Chains A and B, each alone.
Chain A
């Protein structure tokens, strides 16, 4: 260990380069993991809210509402249905537009009856709203509906969700590819650093062999040195990622759910550091073993 640490300091430039690349790699790995988590949680929170609103005709009876609900459920892909009466809808509309006096004035002119009662449908699979749409469009089911207000399939929101899903899939793949590329770069740089260390210490290695050092006694310092790059890099990477989250979080929070990622850091700091340490140490050990198998003949 002492020897490994000494080597680290002796080749300070190379060690710094190796640690820096490893830090970049581990930061990308942790950020890619975080963005994955953030986007997944954002999608979940958005899709949880999704619904299809079907507006009901003005003179609908309670029995008809119940029948219609059964018919919709029978069509499939329905997680739940909420009945929103005219009065509730009006209250909701007023609440939503309480700061918009013009809209409220318009409502007063049009009359309270303007806003119809509705059924709010939440889908099991938000990507398959077509199934619900088809059920609602059946001629038997048309009779319950307000002919002047076509059902709203969460219109704009659906395409927004589609965009987010596409965006997050892209980010997931991009994160994975970037992580992979940087892991390979890290391996190459550490491989080279250890190769140089073997080269500069060849006299020492020869002496060690001659006075009876075992193979693992000679290999040990190189493995420790490479693992040390991983250890130092993991701590820096976790710190860096956390600072980026705290700094960028407020700007991003209106678009994506950053809080869950910050929560992860705050609730399980040891888990995050532990995972990073494992990845960093594994990369280090793997690269050093690779370099030794080629350049350290014992």
Chain B
């Protein structure tokens, strides 16, 4: 479960990214967060991965109260959540298999465990034959699959996909979304941020719309719209 209770984030330069945000996501949900640039989507994700620390309010993820996290616990927090980025963030000088294995290496997994888990995960994302390729030999869609495999190999309960289709053509983008849906069916909570209207509309899943650090819409089977619902217009 992901819980944001009146969470506010003010950056050192004084800009308020989130103001009193309430967010509640149940396990195994597939939630899309939309919003224009600067609305606060990235801040939500950075607070979840503890790249940023909230200014006030309460964040509880998977039973962990983020107010109790000590600096040395941050790596452990990040290992509980899988994250996929728009720019893939793969290590260019490591092979596909090594990139995926890397997530287990940093967690101190044994070699035997790594050798067993990596091919399985590559098979899940449809890259079994590319284990020895380098990232620059892959297409954008394939690279994103590697990133997803890396995010999932530690079997996190939550997968955050931050604009995963931003750099992909429509065909590859859809393949990635289908992969995310498949992962969700296996029981992982998926949190997707995207600007892709067609994808959001076709998904017919819960959509949360953020504007100026607040949630302005939260629809169970939402569509892509950046507009405030009529009953909330004028409310700041």
Check B89 for interface membership: any CB of A closer than 8 A.
yes
What range describes how many residues of B lie at the interface? 20 to 34
For the complex, what is the distance from the CA of A206 to the CA of B78, rounded to whole Å?
A: 13
A210 → B minimal CB distance (Å): 6
Chain B residues with CB under 8 A of A211: 78-79, 83, 102-103, 106, 150-151
Interface of A is mostly: helix
| Interface hits, A192-246 → B, CB 8 Å | 203-204, 206-215, 217
For the complex, what is the distance from the CA of A203 to the CA of B103, rounded to whole Å?
A: 15
B138 → A minimal CB distance (Å): 17
For the complex, what is the distance from the CA of A204 to the CA of B93, rounded to whole Å?
A: 10
A11 → B minimal CB distance (Å): 12
Check B75 for interface membership: any CB of A closer than 8 A.
yes
* B89–A206 CB distance below 8 A: yes
Chain A residues with CB under 8 A of B76: 212
Chain A residues with CB under 8 A of B83: 210-211
Question: Chain B, 135-165, contact with A by CB distance < 8 Å: what is the 0/1 string?
Answer: 0000000000000001100000000000000
For the complex, what is the distance from the CA of A92 to the CA of B109, rounded to whole Å?
A: 81
Check B202 for interface membership: any CB of A closer than 8 A.
no
Chain B residues with CB under 8 A of A212: 75-79, 103, 106-107
For the complex, what is the distance from the CA of A6 to the CA of B91, rounded to whole Å?
A: 13
For the complex, what is the distance from the CA of A10 to the CA of B94, rounded to whole Å?
A: 13
Chain A residues with CB under 8 A of B72: 214-215
* B75–A207 CB distance below 8 A: no
17 additional contacts (CB under 8 A) given A209-B75, A210-B85, A212-B107: A204-B91, A206-B89, A207-B91, A208-B102, A210-B49, A210-B51, A210-B78, A210-B89, A211-B103, A211-B106, A211-B150, A211-B151, A212-B77, A212-B78, A213-B75, A213-B106, A214-B72
- List 10 A-B pairs, minimum CB-CB distance, nearest first: A212-B78, A212-B79, A213-B106, A212-B75, A214-B75, A207-B89, A211-B103, A217-B106, A204-B91, A212-B106
Using a CB–CB cutoff of 8 Å, the interface residues on chain A facing chain B are 6, 10, 203-204, 206-215, 217
